[in-house]
Amino acid sequence: MKNDVNKNIPAEKFKFVGGDNASHDVKFDTKARSYFQDAFSRFCRNKGSVVAAVVIIILVLFAIIVPFFTPFTVAYEDNNFAYALPKNPWFEDTNFWDGCKEVADGEDTFRYYYLIGEELKDAKEGNGGHSVVKNQKYTKNENGLYVYRRDSYHIKGCEYKTIQKDVYYDIIRYQNETKNQVLYPLIDQDDRPSATQDADNANYYYKTKTQNRRTVADLDENGNPVPVYYRVEEGKTDSLNWTLPYDSIRIEGQDGIEVDGKTYFYSYGFEKAGGLVEVRVNCYEYYVYRHTQVIKDKISEPYFLLGATHAGKDILTCLSSGARFSFIFAIAVAVVNMFIGAIWGAIAGYYGGTADIVMERITDVLAAIPMMVVITLLKFYLDKTPTFLILFLSFIATGWIGVAGTTRMQFYRFKNQEYVLAARTLGANDRRIMFKHIFPNALGTLVTSIALVIPSMIFSETSLTYLGIIDLSVGNITSVGTLIAAGQPYLADYPHIVASPSIFLALLMLSFNLFGNGLRDAFNPSLRGSED
């Protein structure tokens, strides 16, 4: 058949190939790519995984950077700003992200908040005061309820405080310099509300009465509140010599009250035993005063970008610090587990036989011990050990078993390959073969598994802290789970306490899963699309 084909080809078509015309392999014009470069190229083609990687980077940067730039610490709390809503100063008076929410209240409740603003309307020079009813604007709906935006940062109004005498005079100095009023007139003891629950409420600066077991304003015939401030005659002190001198900002129209030819002034400070002074302060401006002293005369008004918890803790600070702890904890656990598991799995998979059987039975026994039992035993025997260290040891106790199983499987897969036999023939020892020839080939699978272990560790740590099994809310340590658990009882009224940590955790888990799937497809193309 071959000869028949050749007969059909003209003889002039055949030529002898000389030495100068010998055929050679053509040199590749492209650069050779390493294993990791090839894997990176495959990873970048997976758009979902790339987006997930970007989200993870953003979350990590958030955890690293934010705690250094917030003015608060995890341990800081201020009950005057409990449940404060998210606020950004740039969005003031925009009805968005301004620390306010729209509510509908009955007349008595509305009047209570409205009258707070009436007293504090001149608290800050050029600011129009601090009203709980935002800008003192409201409407009435068809049900007769007052609809308005309630400012969560001024809802506390005023409160009674006992301070040192030198602090009292320092506040007076501060008021005279800044024209921001901190101190307000004290209330006459005899005119304070009779209801026990309201007796110490410093916002009742007017006559009150009890109605339906509630304290409400007792208005005059014109519908205006009647102030009941404590008054002292000019040039005299009260009978007990309590009233301290006050030469600073006074509330509007009260520079002196003429009664029966005598001039009276409101009292702003009662001296008590031990050099203490009882005062009545505007909570918001008192916060500004205290923090102005701390940061060297730079005015620092309170605002929480993500809101505050039930204890007045800054959610942004707690979330970023908790996220940083979660990342550091998960990565540290993953690295230690990978180190222990890789060595254990490599020995079991490489040597096999009796060594493998004994080592596998040991891991079976350890894997059968529930995590709760491990944590309970460690807490019982290491009761004086820091909580985070107990949690760390608990995750390490059995966490390496999964990595060991994966490594063992990969060593069984590669230990009889030709390149391993060639290395053994050339005299390579067991350690070199295990960690120079076999382990690099198993690294892709291990990296993929570790990428999925990190979110698993974070989720487990969050679950334990959320359930209260592990308490990390000590000092400057907190966790995402602790934040979610603390905000759960207030979910209906203050969802912002739970919203931020929940969104963070959801983004983290989703992004890590997509990122891990992308790594799996990049390092192990043969497993692409599998869900194991």
pLDDT at 2 over 60: no
Give the model's confidence band at 515: pLDDT under 50 very low, under 70 low, under 90 confident, else very high. confident
The beta strands (E) that lie in 132-249 are given as 139-140, 146-151, 158-164, 183-184, 208-211, 214-217, 231-233
Co-location of 235 and 362 in the same domain: no
Max mean pLDDT range (60-69, 215-224, 469-478): 60-69
Number of Cβ within 10 Å of residue 90's Cβ equals 8
Co-location of 136 and 177 in the same domain: no
Cα separation values, 74 from 71, 175, 476, Å: 10, 30, 5
The beta strands (E) that lie in 364-467 are given as none
Asked if 160 contacts 278 with a C-beta cutoff of 8 angstroms, the reply is yes
Cα separation values, 80 from 76, 167, 172, 330, 387, Å: 12, 20, 22, 35, 30
Position 85 scores a pLDDT of 92
Asked if 230 contacts 266 with a C-beta cutoff of 8 angstroms, the reply is yes
Counting DSSP H helices and E strands in the chain, the numbers are: 15, 12
Co-location of 324 and 295 in the same domain: no
pLDDT at 332 over 60: yes
Position 22 scores a pLDDT of 56
Co-location of 344 and 467 in the same domain: yes
Please write the tens of the pLDDT for every residue from 380-423.
887 777 777 888 888 888 888 888 888 888 888 888 888 888 88
Report the number of distinct structural domains present in the chain: 3
The helix (H) or strand (E) run that includes residue 429 is none
Strand partners, 124: 180
Q: Greatest CA span in the chain, whole angstroms?
A: 142
- Higher-pLDDT residue of 257, 453: 453
Mode of pairing for the β-strands spanning 146-151 and 139-140: antiparallel
Give the model's confidence band at 60: pLDDT under 50 very low, under 70 low, under 90 confident, else very high. very high
Position 29 scores a pLDDT of 63
Co-location of 510 and 387 in the same domain: yes
The beta strands (E) that lie in 106-153 are given as 139-140, 146-151
Distance CA 239, CA 189 (A): 14
Position 35 scores a pLDDT of 67
pLDDT at 5 over 60: no
pLDDT at 532 over 50: no
Looking from the CA of 128 toward its CB, the CA atoms found within 13 Å total 8
Distance CA 226, CA 271 (A): 26
Indicate the SS3 state at residue 172. helix
Position 58 scores a pLDDT of 94
Average pLDDT for 227-256: 69
Give the model's confidence band at 296: pLDDT under 50 very low, under 70 low, under 90 confident, else very high. very low
Distance CA 118, CA 375 (A): 56
Position 297 scores a pLDDT of 43
Please write the tens of the pLDDT for every residue from 487-512.
888 888 889 999 999 999 999 989 98
154 phi, psi to nearest 5 deg? -115, 5
| Structural domain that includes position 164 | 157-186+229-303
Residue 5 domain flag: no
**DSSP for 260-327?**
TTEEEEE---EEEGGGEEEEEEEHHHHHHHHHHHHTTS-------TT-B-TT--BHHHHHHHHHHHHH
Residue 213 domain flag: no
Examine the fold and report which residue of 155, 177, 207 is the final residue of a domain before the chain moves on.
Answer: 155
Query: What CATH number corresponds to the domain at position 351?
Result: 1.10.3720.10
Please write the tens of the pLDDT for every residue from 348-372.
888 888 888 999 899 888 888 888 8
Give the model's confidence band at 219: pLDDT under 50 very low, under 70 low, under 90 confident, else very high. confident
Co-location of 264 and 337 in the same domain: no
Residue 216 domain flag: no
* Tokens coding 287: 């916060």
Position 425 scores a pLDDT of 84
Which of 127, 148, 152, 126 is CA-nearest to residue 139? 148
Examine the fold and report which residue of 244, 269, 303 is the final residue of a domain before the chain moves on.
Answer: 303
How does the average pLDDT of the chain come out, rounded?
Answer: 82
Cα separation values, 68 from 313, 337, 479, 525, Å: 16, 30, 17, 41
Co-location of 235 and 164 in the same domain: yes
pLDDT at 221 over 90: no
Please write the tens of the pLDDT for every residue from 171-212.
999 989 888 889 999 888 888 887 777 888 899 988 988 888
Residue 484 domain flag: yes
- Higher-pLDDT residue of 474, 119: 119
Average pLDDT for 226-232: 83
* Tokens coding 188: 């006459």
Examine the fold and report which residue of 273, 303, 333 is the final residue of a domain before the chain moves on.
Answer: 303
Distance CA 344, CA 401 (A): 9
Average pLDDT for 112-117: 91
Co-location of 248 and 328 in the same domain: no
Give the model's confidence band at 111: pLDDT under 50 very low, under 70 low, under 90 confident, else very high. very high
Residue 161 domain flag: yes
Residue 101 domain flag: yes
Which of 472, 477, 487 is CA-nearest to residue 83? 487
Co-location of 335 and 370 in the same domain: yes
Residue 288 domain flag: yes
Co-location of 514 and 479 in the same domain: yes
Co-location of 61 and 144 in the same domain: no
Strand partners, 149: 102
What DSSP character marks residue 212? T
Residue with tokens 């990791």: 36
Position 527 scores a pLDDT of 53
Give the model's confidence band at 522: pLDDT under 50 very low, under 70 low, under 90 confident, else very high. confident
Please write the tens of the pLDDT for every residue from 299-326.
477 889 999 998 888 999 999 998 998 8
Residue 324 domain flag: yes
Q: What share of the chain is helix, strand, coil (3-state, %, to 5)?
A: 55, 10, 35
- Please work out, in degrees rounded to the nearest 5, the angle formed at the alpha carbon of residue 289 by the alpha carbons of 256 and 65: 160
pLDDT at 16 over 70: no
Residue with tokens 């730039």: 69
Co-location of 288 and 320 in the same domain: no
